[in-house]
Amino acid sequence: MAGKFDEIYRRSLDDPEGFWSEAAEALSWYKRWDRVFEGDGPTNSRWFPGAMCNTCYNALDRHVEDGHGERTALIYDSPVTDTVATLSYREFRDQAARFGGVLRGLGVGKGDRVILYMPMVPETAVAMLACARIGAIHSVVFGGFAANELATRIADSTPKVIVTATCGIEPGRIVEYMPLVTEALALSPHKVDHVVVLQRPENPVEPVPGRDHDWHEAMAAASPVDCVPVLATDPLYILYTSGTTGEPKGVVRDNGGHMVALKWSMKNVYNTDPGEAYWAASDVGWVVGHSYIVYAPLLHGCTTILYEGKPVGTPDAGVFWRVISQHKVSTLFTAPTAFRAIKREDPNGKLIGDYDMSAFRTLYLAGERTDPDTLHWARDKLGVPVIDHWWQTESGWPMAANCAGIELLPIKDGSPTRAVPGYDIEILGNDGAPVARGEMGAICVKLPLPPSCLPTLWNAQDRFLASYMNRYPGYYETADAGYMDQDGYLFVMSRTDDIINVAGHRLSTGAMEEVMADHPDVAECAVIGVADSLKGQLPLGFLVLNAGVNRDPGAITGEVVKMMRDRIGAVAAFRIAVIVERLPKTRSGKILRGTMASIADGKDYKAPATIDDPAILPEIASALRNAGYPRS
């Protein structure tokens, strides 16, 4: 017999316009839509065309006008600076309105881009909402990225203004931002005249005359501005994600569909009510931070936690429990990596008992596949449902989840449960036809995609089609592989490309290989992802040196590691490169990365029939053993 979830899911596919029209009624619109949806293909599909709205208004002003101005909107909890501070909805609105005035005073208008290269501080969220307020398009770049990565995003998005801070703060060290910003501006062909700088007391910096504007001084001098109506189909932000070519892809998010889907998800997926404290322990540089630190909780009228710290070491493995207890968090969303780190430091979960966890109801995990051991540990120690769910930068909100706000379904280890309402997920074979239940294939979503999913890539429509739409006509290709069981539960098993997942951060091996190939002694190279008990995966490099190179191998690999840190950033966690005589390849020249990864992880493997020379595999195994792989 069909349950409540089945009924709602079926309606979302049978009557998507009625379904999402009802969801949209929970938000405020300057002008209603001409149609809920229009389009007949991947390049012209749009949700709520003709509607006029403003995301900042719905996230902040609407709550103030509804009498909730004194409700806490944001709690900033920073163990690295020993700070806890709050913003009410009224205070948040006023700051966003004033910073909108700062941007407007620097020439930013509707449709202009603003890059935010910021740490986890309240000003980051203020700047995001300020951009939304005036109809500007923000592009947040994670502060851990190196200067050349920032430069590529400047060149692609052509911003009028960059908003940054003098530093980010990690346990035991300061990450200086301003040298990276200056280098990126020098590298980029697009010139930016204005940089707004938040001076942090931990690292004060002399401003660059004529370029830099002090955040606090600019705020004091600016006049607040009202919300600017924009089309529901206008871009809200660009968020760059790694591509297999090493060139970042600028995922575009619209205004109308985005806020409808995110508002709907807060109750139906996460079972969180307005006024409750919701915590996504991520970073605003990633899609989780956009969707579930900033936009979704505020659209729903929740209190969102913005946490500047780590799951361990700030000061110990009990800090998550301290935050949950102190701020009465009902729902936590984080990556399995965080719980692996906590489990390693406190395997018996003793620190949990030091805190009042009575307000805590549900733990959600995403960003990488949740291994059963981590899921069981979290569930047993916390005594609450632990829900693995799956989505992507491109979707902007969950694609498969156990929708606790509708009906909590039985949990199956290794599965993010079932497709979320709005998503028609199928497993396709190489011929493009659906495969049998239980059979592996490409995980795809039948078009049209529901609201909030990317309508295109920034200035790259052909790449949008090539990356997501062309291989399986009529479907969105997720680039994940897996299977669906007889109950409709999805099992996401691997990527179908060469992107690796380091602590929930998707990184391109192609981009890393480009860096290694630039070393003058390197003739050929490859990067694979190897299993790591803490981060899920770590990159491991293979180097084939030019003939005649007789330098110290340790010096060469050390230089490559430094190049990787300088050009990709510490976020890649690239520490080891192995020098080999040659790389295993197919006869057509394809490097057998999957086979090398199996050897490094100690898994059984079989030499592919197309391998050019099977004798190379023992050589690879020997080199990996010398480097300490497989790990015991």
Q: Which residue in 458, 449, 450, 537 sits closest to 495, CA to CA?
A: 537
Q: How confident is the model at residue 482 (pLDDT cuts 50, 70, 90)?
A: confident
The amino acid sitting at 496 is: T
Contact 551, 535 (CB under 8 A): no
Contact 446, 426 (CB under 8 A): yes
Residue 242 has pLDDT above 80, yes or no: no
Query: Given its phi and psi angles, is residue 133 left (phi above 0), alpha (psi -120 to 50 degrees) or beta?
Result: alpha
Q: Measured between alpha carbons, how far is 158 from 352 in angstroms, rounded to an integer?
A: 47
Q: Measured between alpha carbons, how far is 288 from 463 in angstroms, rounded to an integer?
A: 24
Residue 615 has pLDDT above 90, yes or no: no
Instruction: Look up residue 395 and give its two tokens.
Output: 């979707």
Q: How confident is the model at residue 341 (pLDDT cuts 50, 70, 90)?
A: confident
Q: What's residue 611's pLDDT?
A: 75
Q: CA dihedral defined by 256, 258, 263, 265, rounded to 10 degrees?
A: 140
Q: How confident is the model at residue 632 (pLDDT cuts 50, 70, 90)?
A: low
| CA atoms within a 13 Å half-sphere pointing along the CA-CB vector of 448 | 22
Q: Which residue in 496, 512, 498 sits closest to 571, CA to CA?
A: 512
| CA atoms within a 13 Å half-sphere pointing along the CA-CB vector of 625 | 6
Q: How confident is the model at residue 245 (pLDDT cuts 50, 70, 90)?
A: very low
Q: Measured between alpha carbons, how far is 460 from 251 in angstroms, rounded to an integer?
A: 10
User: What pLDDT, in 10s, does the model give residues 78-108?
Assistant: 999 999 999 999 999 999 999 999 999 999 9
Residue 372 CB burial class (10 angstroms; 0-12, 13-18, ≥19): exposed
Instruction: Look up residue 58 and give its two tokens.
Output: 């719905």
Strand ranges inside 447-547, DSSP E: 475-484, 490-495, 499-502, 505-508, 522-532, 536-545
What's the rounded mean pLDDT across residues 487-510? Answer: 76
Residue 504 has pLDDT above 80, yes or no: no
Helix axes 122-134, 89-105, angle to 10 degrees: 60
The amino acid sitting at 225 is: V
SS3 string, 544-600, reads EECCCCCCCHHHHHHHHHHHHHHHCEHHHCCCEEEECCCCCEECCCCECHHHHHHHH
What's the rounded mean pLDDT across residues 399-419? Answer: 95
Q: How far is CA 47 from CA 36, 256, 268, 449, in A?
A: 6, 7, 20, 10
Residue given tokens 């929708």 in the structure block: 403
Contact 390, 371 (CB under 8 A): no
DSSP element (H, E) containing 167: strand 167-170
Q: How confident is the model at residue 243 (pLDDT cuts 50, 70, 90)?
A: very low
Q: Domain segments of the chain: what residues?
A: 4-309+389-469, 499-626
Q: Residue 537: beta bridge partners?
A: 531
Query: In a 3-state reduction of DSSP, which class is residue 323?
Result: helix
| CA atoms within a 13 Å half-sphere pointing along the CA-CB vector of 203 | 18
Contact 397, 452 (CB under 8 A): yes
Residue given tokens 């010398």 in the structure block: 626
Q: How confident is the model at residue 590 (pLDDT cuts 50, 70, 90)?
A: low
R_g of the chain computed on alpha carbons = 24
Looking at the chain, the whole-number percentage of residues with pLDDT higher than 70 is: 96
The amino acid sitting at 391 is: W
Contact 62, 26 (CB under 8 A): no
Contact 535, 575 (CB under 8 A): no
Average pLDDT, the chain: 92
What's the rounded mean pLDDT across residues 391-404? Answer: 97
CATH superfamily of 499-626: ANL, C-terminal domain (3.30.300.30)
Q: Measured between alpha carbons, how far is 519 from 112 in angstroms, rounded to an integer?
A: 38
Q: How confident is the model at residue 128 (pLDDT cuts 50, 70, 90)?
A: very high
Q: What's residue 563's pLDDT?
A: 93
Q: Determine how many CB atoms are found less than 10 A away from the CB of residue 345.
A: 14
Q: Which residue in 50, 2, 3 sits closest to 30, CA to CA?
A: 50
Q: Measured between alpha carbons, how far is 549 from 562 in angstroms, rounded to an integer?
A: 19
Residue given tokens 């030499």 in the structure block: 607
Q: How confident is the model at residue 44 (pLDDT cuts 50, 70, 90)?
A: confident
Residue given tokens 């080199």 in the structure block: 623
The amino acid sitting at 328 is: K
- Could you say which DSSP state residue 31 is in? B
Q: Measured between alpha carbons, how far is 176 from 205 in angstroms, rounded to an integer?
A: 9
Residue 278 has pLDDT above 80, yes or no: yes
Q: What's residue 497's pLDDT?
A: 59
Q: How confident is the model at residue 607 (pLDDT cuts 50, 70, 90)?
A: confident
What's the rounded mean pLDDT across residues 121-130? Answer: 98
Q: Which residue in 619, 539, 625 sits closest to 582, CA to CA?
A: 619
Contact 241, 463 (CB under 8 A): no
Cβ-count burial 7-40 (b if 16+ within 10 Å, e if not): eebeebeeebeebbbebbeebebeeebeebbbee
Q: Determine how many CB atoms are found less than 10 A away from the CB of residue 332.
A: 24
User: What pLDDT, in 10s, does the model give residues 114-124?
Assistant: 999 999 999 99
* Window from 17-31, 469-483, 486-500 with minimum mean pLDDT: 486-500
Q: Determine how many CB atoms are found less than 10 A away from the CB of residue 341.
A: 20
Q: How confident is the model at residue 244 (pLDDT cuts 50, 70, 90)?
A: very low
Architecture of domain 4-309+389-469: 3-Layer(aba) Sandwich (3.40)
Q: Measured between alpha carbons, how far is 304 from 86 in angstroms, rounded to an integer?
A: 10
What's the rounded mean pLDDT across residues 311-332? Answer: 96
Residue 272 has pLDDT above 90, yes or no: yes
